[in-house]
Chains A and B, each alone.
Chain A
Amino acid sequence: MEYFQAMNFDRIREKLNILADAAKYDVSCASSGSDRVNKGKGVGNASKMGICHSYTADGRCVSLLKILLTNHCIFDCAYCVTRKSNDVPRAAFKVQEVVDLTINFYRRNYIEGLFLSSGIFKSPDHTMERLVAVAKKLREEENFNGYIHLKSIPGASDELMYEAGLYADRLSVNIEVPTISGLKLLAPDKKHEDFTKPMEKVKNEIVRYTSERKIIKSTPKYAPAGQSTQIIVGASGESDKDIMYSATHYYKTFNMKRVYYSGYVPVTHDSRLPAIGSQVPMLRENRLYQTDWLLRFYGFSIGEILNNQHPNLDMDVDPKLSWALRNLHHFPVDVNTADKRLLARIPGIGMRSVDKIIKARKFRKLNWDHLKKIGVALNRAQYFMVCDSRHWERRDLDADKIKGMILQHSSGKFRNQYSTQLSLFN
């Protein structure tokens, strides 16, 4: 069960340090969405809800062994730490080394599986072939049923993308730059089609396999956890509207399971990009994720949140509150009678609370005390709703007034970052 020669551990450690460090800017670490079972008493299965085995010091989930096969690369994308012209130590894993690391980490319950990406060496197909070889070996030789996430290498052939989906749970291509003009500027070696072609192929195969499974139940799995992509935020001067319209496009066109937003961490000196040492736009990243959630789970459409009048999200309040303040004519909503869609639009009420409210109100009319115990954030919700109580906000408050009162009676984790703006409302 132990594969490495004792003397090899030092070299493996060096490689692991280099190739894990180079892979860390890819924020996806999800292990959810697949329900692969442990067949034939092998090792591993996939947990439908995913498991985070640890968290980095910056609070990101550590679920998968996330490494590059190699950080040698023929491309020179400005935003990438692995770019050809960057002076960094380079390394490459052998296929068997990645397999052994994955299995041994997995057996100790460190990880849910493997997330393998790579710099592009020789050619896209040559690289993709090696990634597929790792996944195939894990599945067929080690009887490994844990989670595998493979990167689709831009420009890889349809045949290889097809094979990848047979072994992987998830496939992803990071578009990184949301606009075509930005891509030309920052990644001149790559064409937009290089990204979309593998996405298209994987999407079509997923659709085909899903429909075949409806007829023949034993149809093998093809990328059961779907596809994802990542957009870098704050590297090429794009607006929140550019980013979210682009994300919406990828969700719709390629049935993406997830779009990730990654605040740009300056890694190289380049006049086209923010300088090293610039602050990572974490608050903006947070607001984009909130918007993503509103679109996917709360029934909002993109045009309601971002449009030509409002091309950027408010930094001082969350996007739902911001929308509510612009649309006071929808409020107040009566939580004891409103339908699910409307409840979900009240600031301070999340989908879990919506669910609880709908179930609980069948037994009795809900008052402030019930709502508080259920977990509604009343500091925000109170201005937008009425319930079974004689007390509610009767004053005719305008949006600025409400916003000011909410900010005064709450504390936000990013508050110190916009304290100068806040003073306007106090």
Chain B
Amino acid sequence: MNASTTLVYDGSFNGFLTAVFVAFDEKINVADIQKNDQSQSGLFSETETVFTHVEKAKRVWNGVRNKSHNAISNVYFAFLSEAEGVEMMLYTYIQKLMRTKNGKYLDYSDSTVLYIDQLAKKVGREKHRMEAFVRFQLTKDEIYFANIEPDFDVLPLISKHFRDRYADQKWLIYDVKRKYGIYYDLNHVEMVSLNLKDIHHNKTIKSDAFTTEEYEYQTLWNNYFKSINIASRINPKLHTQHVPKRYWKYLSEKKEAV
């Protein structure tokens, strides 16, 4: 029996997959898989740092994908949840997938499978929410700009949706919490980091970064939102269930409510 080892990786998805590769390849008895900025050494385990290696990562990716497309997307989505301890759960999940017959990812009576499936669903829900709740504001240099603050790291997941849809306008979506954004320049989407002076959410003070028409359209949208309300059907509980309060500060129709 090998002594157990904690694998430390750089926090990237490829880094994590490399760690999985190393664990399989070297038959390591894994105690934990941790990001390098949060690693804690265990009392009875050794620590080994894994350097991200795209080819190795790709082999794990392909191995899981050959088992099932659903499974690899579950792995990616669940990883982006940034949930505590998700790496170990994913490692167990991948182990189970590789060891058992095909279709293991459908075994909802296995607690690891069900956990990963439900976690991936949560991230999927957040992705869908961000596709809905992004509110672009037109800057004076003709870029449609939006701040978001999603529960999970969903920017890599929503990039395609926005690129397909808004193909003829420049746009930038910036994750305030994780301090990076995606920018579309009419040709490609690229990752950017910005030195934002202030976060552009619902403030009553107008920023001179945006066009005057921008505020006119926000007012129109805000008015529209009020006009479609049916007072005799009001149901605040259902409303906040669909639009949780933590998102309100980035929704222009919620300006007064914040």
Contacts and interface: CB of A to CB of B under 8 A. Distances in A.
Contact of A57 (B106, B136, B239, B252): B239
B135 interface: yes
Contacts of A47: 131, 161
Interface stretch (A8-16, A202-210, A224-232, A239-247): A8-16
A374 B109 CA distance: 8
Interface residues of A, number: 62
A20 to B, nearest CB: 4
Contact of A58 (B137, B235, B253): B235
Contact of A363 (B107, B212, B251): B107
A37 B167 CA distance: 11
A24 interface: yes
Contacts of B243: 54-55
Given A16-B220, A45-B165, A58 B108 contact: no
Given A38-B165, A59-B235, A24 B228 contact: yes
Interface string A4-42: 101001001100110011011100000000000110011
B131 to A, nearest CB: 6
A115 to B, nearest CB: 11
Contact of A360 (B108, B132, B137): B108
Report whether over half of chain B's contact residues are helix, strand or loop; otherwise say mixed: helix
B233 interface: yes
A318 B161 CA distance: 38
Interface string B200-242: 0000000000011100110111011111111011111111011
Interface string A59-98: 1111001100000000000000000000000000000000
Contacts of A315: none
Contacts of A24: 227-230
Given A25-B230, A62-B225, A280-B232, A55 B137 contact: no
A52 B108 contact: no
A38 B219 contact: no
Interface in B109-160: 109-111, 114, 128, 131-138, 142, 144, 146
Interface string B163-206: 01111110000000000000000000000000000000000000
A5 to B, nearest CB: 10
A65 B224 contact: yes
B11 interface: no
B230 to A, nearest CB: 6
Contacts of A364: 109
A42 B251 CA distance: 25
B42 interface: no
A56 B229 contact: yes
Contacts of B236: 57
Contacts of B233: 58, 60, 263, 265, 280, 282
B167 A360 contact: no
Contact of A59 (B168, B212, B224, B241): B241
Nearest to B236: A57
B80 to A, nearest CB: 20
A53 B133 contact: yes
B97 to A, nearest CB: 13
B167 A57 contact: no
Contacts of B134: 109
B220 A9 contact: yes
Contacts of B238: 55, 58-59
B85 interface: no
A110 B135 contact: yes
Contacts of B252: 110
A290 to B, nearest CB: 16
Contact of B168 (A2, A42, A61, A66): A42
Nearest to A357: B108
Contacts of A4: 213, 216
A186 B163 CA distance: 49
Nearest to B169: A107
B103 interface: yes
A370 interface: yes
B242 A59 contact: yes
A25 B168 CA distance: 34
A413 B235 CA distance: 11
A13 B220 contact: yes
Nearest to A277: B232
A21 B220 contact: no
A55 B239 contact: yes
Contacts of B133: 53-54
A217 interface: no
Interface string A212-230: 0000000000000000000
Interface in B12-56: none
A301 interface: no
A59 B241 CA distance: 8
7 contacts: A16-B224, A45-B164, A55-B243, A56-B228, A108-B137, A282-B233, A360-B107
Given A23-B228, A44-B166, A280-B233, 17 more contacts: A6-B216, A9-B219, A13-B223, A17-B223, A17-B224, A54-B132, A56-B228, A58-B230, A60-B233, A108-B217, A108-B221, A109-B134, A110-B252, A265-B230, A359-B103, A370-B109, A374-B114
